[in-house]
């Protein structure tokens, strides 16, 4: 099979990006595959092209509605009409119409919570599924244990779908996360492709301050001097709103974004940002997946991220057009306490675990009474079906230790005495990359490259017209 010929026939491209062909060859050979491809490397082609060849439907399990909508829109732009995203936000009549015509679609996007529903499984089973894609597969490790347990159930429903081969896709994963993806998806002798995650056009800048007032002043100066488009990550919903308010007061075009907003409001902010109506988005880590904007120049962390994995995913949204881009982390002594507090608050408490074990299904009523949290109910209900009480208490304790280890790795990032780029690569069990010009604040950065608006940027060899075209017309 001439894959280059198919690539040109279906998408108009004459060559694959690094890793794409190797992954596609293994998918078409019938193997389970785990592919680690950095943001902007065209992960979606790894199931789109096989979908053109394989006889049955391709089911893509995607974590976020915004991500599904973005991928569906990209496919339709490329002329693919047999694509649909089915989710809980659809009108009942539209969803019913989708189920009745499901056999006409080649690419079907669903959330993990929908995939495991018996009715949905029944509808998918009769189609003949050639390939199941676990998109953003790191969520199996990152979210599955925390508050998306249905990610952990994906492998359990595969037999009901005829055991289709599985393709797991992610941009970032440590060896530990890679092992968990393979284990929880029950990948059979998978082909693993891991591309170096280093992005040479991103410069890493870490700045330390004596107090929060100085840090806030520095943020305002950065926004004023450097221009956008940019993302400012905050640790809490309240802080994201506060920072957006300050930028607006200064006359900036900014908005906040967090998981507590209505879905339509979040989509609206994303659209405004993509359409250049906003220069800055102040957000929690809820903002990012499904945001494919090539010219984000600056990603600023006003507060510490909760893990190195999260940090790399977030800064990786900058510079997808291959032009020089900046990742700035602002730190004040004591910022670690907020991270530790947030990650511990996410975990179910002992009394919640014991109540759910004691009450079973009735425990759901305790959510409205404020005695347990909905996220605690979801995750503990999953483990209650599989482990005795002591086993689940131990599971949560181990998760707590892992969260603390992740927070410690971020602390190490801030206080690293050497190259920031190399520290990150080591954290992902990868070889130290070559040191590019404007690598990081340890080696020194020419900040004049980043000041002013994005229109003033000068293209580098990495930003050739071919690379720019690939970003504008992603494959």
pLDDT in tens, the chain (475 residues): 799 999 998 888 889 988 999 999 999 999 999 999 877 678 889 999 999 999 989 999 987 776 787 788 888 887 888 999 988 778 889 888 998 899 999 999 998 888 988 999 999 988 889 999 998 888 877 555 555 778 788 888 999 998 999 999 988 778 888 888 998 899 989 999 998 888 899 999 999 999 999 999 999 999 998 888 999 999 899 999 999 999 999 888 999 999 888 878 988 898 899 899 999 999 998 887 767 788 999 999 999 998 888 899 899 899 988 899 999 999 999 898 888 787 777 788 999 999 999 998 888 888 988 899 888 888 888 889 889 999 999 988 888 888 888 888 899 999 988 999 999 999 888 888 899 999 999 999 999 888 764 444 433 333 344 444 444 344 4
Q: Is residue 250 part of a domain?
A: no
Check whether residue 160 and residue 216 sit in a common domain: no
Which of 143, 172, 194 represents a domain boundary (last residue)?
194
Check whether residue 427 and residue 318 sit in a common domain: yes
Sign of the dihedral defined by the CA atoms of residues 415, 418, 420, 425, in that order: negative
Check whether residue 83 and residue 221 sit in a common domain: no
Check whether residue 39 and residue 181 sit in a common domain: yes
Please say whether the beta carbons of 139 and 286 come within 8 A: no
- Cα separation, 71 vs 51, in Å, equals 14
pLDDT of amino acid 145: 54
Check whether residue 169 and residue 220 sit in a common domain: no
- DSSP assignment of 91-121 equals -HHHHHHHHHTGGG-SEEEE-HHHHTSHHHH
- Cα separation, 284 vs 233, in Å, equals 6
Which of 194, 218, 243 represents a domain boundary (last residue)?
194
C-alpha distances (whole Å) from 53 to each of 28, 38, 117, 167, 416 are 8, 25, 28, 15, 48
> What is the total count of domains within the chain?
2
Here the tokens at position 177 are: 């996360």
Q: Is residue 256 part of a domain?
A: no
Q: At what angle do helices 350-359 and 374-384 cross, to 10 degrees?
A: 60
Q: Is residue 327 part of a domain?
A: yes
- Rounded to the nearest 10°, the torsion over CA 120, 122, 124, 128 is 170
Please say whether the beta carbons of 170 and 137 come within 8 A: yes
Which residue is listed with tokens 């919640």? 352
Here the tokens at position 80 are: 């693919």
pTM of model > 0.75: yes
pLDDT of amino acid 315: 92
Check whether residue 36 and residue 105 sit in a common domain: yes
Which of 151, 169, 194 represents a domain boundary (last residue)?
194
> What number of other Cβ atoms are within 10 A of residue 96's Cβ?
11
pLDDT of amino acid 193: 93
pLDDT of amino acid 205: 96
- DSSP assignment of 268-286 equals HHHHHHHTTS-SEEEE-TT
Please say whether the beta carbons of 17 and 152 come within 8 A: no
Check whether residue 42 and residue 119 sit in a common domain: yes
Check whether residue 186 and residue 224 sit in a common domain: no
Check whether residue 90 and residue 208 sit in a common domain: no
Check whether residue 16 and residue 79 sit in a common domain: yes
Please say whether the beta carbons of 115 and 150 come within 8 A: yes
Check whether residue 165 and residue 302 sit in a common domain: no
pLDDT of amino acid 54: 93
Q: What angle do CA 272, 275, 278 make, to 5 degrees?
A: 50
Q: Is residue 370 part of a domain?
A: no
C-alpha distances (whole Å) from 188 to each of 116, 131, 133, 182, 191 are 21, 14, 14, 8, 9
Q: What domain range includes position 110?
A: 3-194
pLDDT of amino acid 40: 66
Please report how many Cα atoms fall inside a 13 Å half-sphere around the Cα of residue 329, on the Cβ side: 27
- Cα separation, 288 vs 19, in Å, equals 23
CB under 8 Å to 202, separation ≥6 — which residues? 315, 316, 318, 319, 325, 326, 327
Q: Is residue 416 part of a domain?
A: yes
Q: Is residue 267 part of a domain?
A: no
Q: What angle do CA 316, 293, 65 make, to 5 degrees?
A: 90
User: What are the counts of helices (DSSP H) followed by strands (DSSP E) for the chain?
Assistant: 21, 13
- Cα separation, 71 vs 372, in Å, equals 36
- Cα separation, 421 vs 413, in Å, equals 10
Query: Partners of 325 in the beta sheet?
Result: 202
pLDDT of amino acid 165: 94
Q: Is residue 158 part of a domain?
A: yes
Provide the CATH number for the domain around residue 124: 3.40.50.300
Q: Is residue 276 part of a domain?
A: no
Check whether residue 138 and residue 89 sit in a common domain: yes
Give the DSSP H or E segment for 140.
Answer: helix 139-142
Here the tokens at position 268 are: 């609206």
């Amino acid at each position: 099979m001439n894959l280059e010929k198919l690539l040109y026939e279906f998408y108009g491209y004459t060559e694959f990006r690094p890793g794409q062909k190797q992954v596609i060859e293994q998918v078409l050979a019938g193997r389970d595959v785990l592919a680690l491809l950095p943001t902007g490397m065209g992960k979606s082609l790894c199931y789109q092209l096989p979908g053109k060849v394989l006889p049955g439907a391709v089911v893509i399990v995607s974590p976020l509605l915004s991500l599904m909508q973005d991928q569906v829109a990209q496919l339709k732009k490329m002329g693919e009409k047999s694509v649909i995203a089915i989710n809980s936000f659809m009108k009942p009549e539209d969803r019913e119409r989708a189920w009745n015509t499901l056999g006409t679609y080649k690419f079907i996007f669903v959330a993990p919570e929908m995939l495991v529903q018996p009715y949905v499984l029944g509808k998918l089973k009769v189609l003949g599924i050639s390939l199941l894609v676990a998109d953003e597969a790191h969520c199996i490790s990152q979210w599955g244990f925390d508050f998306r347990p249905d990610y952990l159930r994906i492998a359990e429903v595969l037999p009901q779908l005829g055991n289709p081969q599985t393709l797991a896709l992610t941009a970032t994963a440590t060896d530990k996360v890679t092992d968990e993806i393979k284990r929880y998806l029950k990948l059979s002798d998978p082909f693993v492709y891991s591309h170096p995650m280093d992005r040479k056009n991103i410069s890493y800048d870490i700045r330390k301050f004596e107090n929060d007032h100085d840090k806030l002043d520095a943020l305002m100066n950065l926004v004023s001097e450097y221009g956008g488009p940019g993302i400012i990550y905050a640790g809490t919903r309240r802080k994201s709103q506060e920072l957006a308010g300050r930028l607006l007061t200064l006359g900036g075009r900014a908005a906040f974004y967090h998981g507590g907003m209505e879905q339509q409001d979040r989509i609206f902010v994303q659209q405004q940002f993509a359409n250049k109506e906003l220069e800055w988005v102040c957000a929690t880590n809820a903002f990012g997946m499904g945001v494919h904007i090539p010219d984000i120049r600056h990603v600023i962390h006003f507060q510490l991220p909760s893990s190195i994995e999260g940090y790399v995913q977030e800064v990786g949204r900058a510079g997808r057009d291959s032009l020089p881009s900046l990742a700035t982390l602002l730190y004040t002594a004591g910022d670690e306490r907020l991270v530790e507090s947030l990650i511990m608050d996410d975990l179910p408490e002992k009394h919640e675990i014991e109540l759910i074990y004691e009450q079973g299904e009735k425990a759901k009523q305790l959510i409205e009474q404020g005695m347990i949290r909905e996220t605690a109910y979801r995750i503990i209900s999953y483990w209650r079906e599989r482990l005795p009480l002591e086993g689940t208490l131990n599971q949560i304790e181990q998760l707590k230790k892992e969260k603390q280890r992740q927070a410690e790795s971020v602390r190490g990032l801030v206080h690293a005495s050497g190259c920031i780029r190399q520290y990150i690569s080591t954290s992902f069990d990868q070889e130290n990359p070559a040191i590019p010009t404007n690598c990081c604040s340890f080696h020194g950065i020419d900040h004049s490259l980043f000041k002013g608006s994005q229109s003033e940027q000068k293209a580098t060899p990495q930003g050739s017209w071919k690379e720019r075209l690939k970003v504008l017309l992603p494959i």
